[in-house]
Amino acid sequence: MAVPAQLEFFLDPSRCIGCQACLQACTECDTHKGQSMIQLDYLDRAYSTQTAPVVCLHCETPTCAEVCPADAIKRTEDGVVQTARKPRCIACNNCVLACPFGVPKMNTRMNLMMKCDMCYDRTSSGLKPWCASVCPSQALAFGTREEMMRLRPNARPVNAFQFGLQIIRTKVNVMAPRDWPDEVVDVTAAMYEPTIGHDMLDDIFVNIGDEV
């Protein structure tokens, strides 16, 4: 069985509300029960509630698989980069350090790299992955491209990312504004961007702290 070609994953991190439904749902997967493969970080909690939900993007040429000395990471014909094969993985940590999106996790005690495989058990039988099923903000969404274009008329999916000189194409899309002129999201250009949110330091507060 393979993931049906018309079904795609769409990621919109700026919709994320950090509720952790994806993490909790991920731990329900039978292939890694009790452990979440999704990465969810506060970017800078002191300033903002902004969170970054990152699933595996499933690169067309996966850096993780290329740098794997044990040949333990396989990309199936449907474009899903599978988690490390248990008998082969020698826990060298290369994939964890090389993935440009920071996705794989290293299970030290089991000598095993673990990563998101887009819930292959579910997606290969036409179901949505756990995280995109439950995500209350639909920052993680799974469905057809037509459905997504209809539901989000001001956005469009993009699946190429620039890291310095390297361009990486992925199976998973992120949502960009529909009239955005480019085709490649420049990740390294945004490397030093501060978090986005509202600030409480409105002029009205200037003297409020002093009453204390």
Partner 1 sequence: MKNSPPASTPTPALELETIRRFGPHVVHERESAGDSGADKLVKTHCCFCGQQCGVQLKVRHNTVIGIEPWYEFPFNRGMLCPKGIKRYLQQAHPDRLLHAWQKDSATPDGFSAVPYEDAVRRLAGEIERIQREHGHDAFGVLSGASLTTEKTYLMGKFAHMCLRTSNIDYNGRLCMVSAAAGNKKAFGIDRAANPWEDILGAEVILVSGANVAECAPITTNYIWQAREQGAKVIVVDPRITPIARTCDLFLPVKPGRDTALFNGILHLMIENDWLDRGFIQAHTAGFEALAESVREWTPGRTAEVTGIAEKSVRQAAEWWGVAKSSFLLHARGLEHHSNGVKNVMSAINIVLASGRIGRPNCGYATITGQANGQGGREHGQKCDQLPGGRDLSNPEHRAHVAAVWGMNAADLPSPGVDAYEIIRKIDKGEIKGLLSICFNPVVSLPDNNFVRQALEKLEFFAVIDFFMSETARYADVVLPGSLQEEDEGTVTQVEGRIIRIKKAVESPGDARSDWKIIQDIAQALGRGQGFTFDSPQSIFEELRAASKGGVADYSGVTYERVEDNFGVFWPCPDEIPEGAPALGPRGTVRLFEPGSWNPVAKGAGPFYFPDGKARFNLTPYVGPAEDVDAEYPIILTTGRVVSQFLSGNQTRRIGPLVDHYPEPRIELHPRLAERLGIADGDWTTVESRRGNCTLRASVVRTIRPDTVFIPYHWAGRKSANQLTISAQDPISKIPEYKVCAVRLRRADSPPEYAELLQPQQ
Partner 2 sequence: MLWGVGTTATLAGLIVAGSRNLAHFDAALVAYTFSVLFATFGLTYRYSMWLQRPPTGLYWSRGWQAFLRPRRRFANLRSWLGRMGSDVLANRFIFRRGPSRWLTHMLIMWGCLIAVAITFPLVFGWLYFRPVVGDLSLYEAVIFGFPAFRFPHESATAFFLFHGLVWASFAVIGGVMLAIRRRMRDDGAAALQRFGEDFMPLILLFAVSVTGLMLTVSYTWMAGHAYSFIAILHAITVIGTFLWLPFGKFFHIFQRPAQLGVAFYKDVGRLEEAAHCRRCGHAFSSRMHVEDLILVQRQLGFSYEIPGNTAEHYQWICPPCRRASFAMAQSVLWRGRRGGAALPTQAGLLPMPTPVNNGLGEGPLGEEDAENFHP
Q: Which of residues 101-130 bind partner 1 (CB under 8 A)?
A: 128
Segment interacting with partner 1, rule: CB under 8 A, options 10-18, 61-69, 74-82, 161-169: 10-18
| Coil, helix or strand at residue 201 | coil
Residues 8-47 that bind partner 2 (CB under 8 A): 11-14, 16, 18, 20, 23-24, 27, 29-36, 39-47
H-helix or E-strand spanning residue 51: strand 51-54
Beta-bridged to residue 9, according to DSSP, are 142
- Whichever of 33 and 109 has its CB closer to partner 1, that residue is 33
Residues 124-143 that bind partner 2 (CB under 8 A): 124
| 90 in contact with partner 1 (CB under 8 A) | no
For 129-156, b/e burial (b = at least 16 CB within 10 A) is bbbbbbbebbbbbbbeeeebeeebeebb
Q: Are 113 and 89 in contact (CB under 8 A)?
A: yes
- In whole angstroms, give the CA distance from residue 150 to residue 175: 13
| 157 in contact with partner 1 (CB under 8 A) | no
The correct pick among 6, 66, 149, 151 for binding partner 2 (CB under 8 A) is 66
What is the token pair recorded at 187?
A: 């990740």
User: Which among partner 2, partner 1, none contacts residue 67 (Cβ within 5 to 8 A by kind)?
Assistant: partner 2
Segment interacting with partner 2, rule: CB under 8 A, options 2-10, 109-117, 129-137, 144-152: 109-117
CB atoms within 10 A of CB 31: 12
| 45 in contact with partner 1 (CB under 8 A) | yes
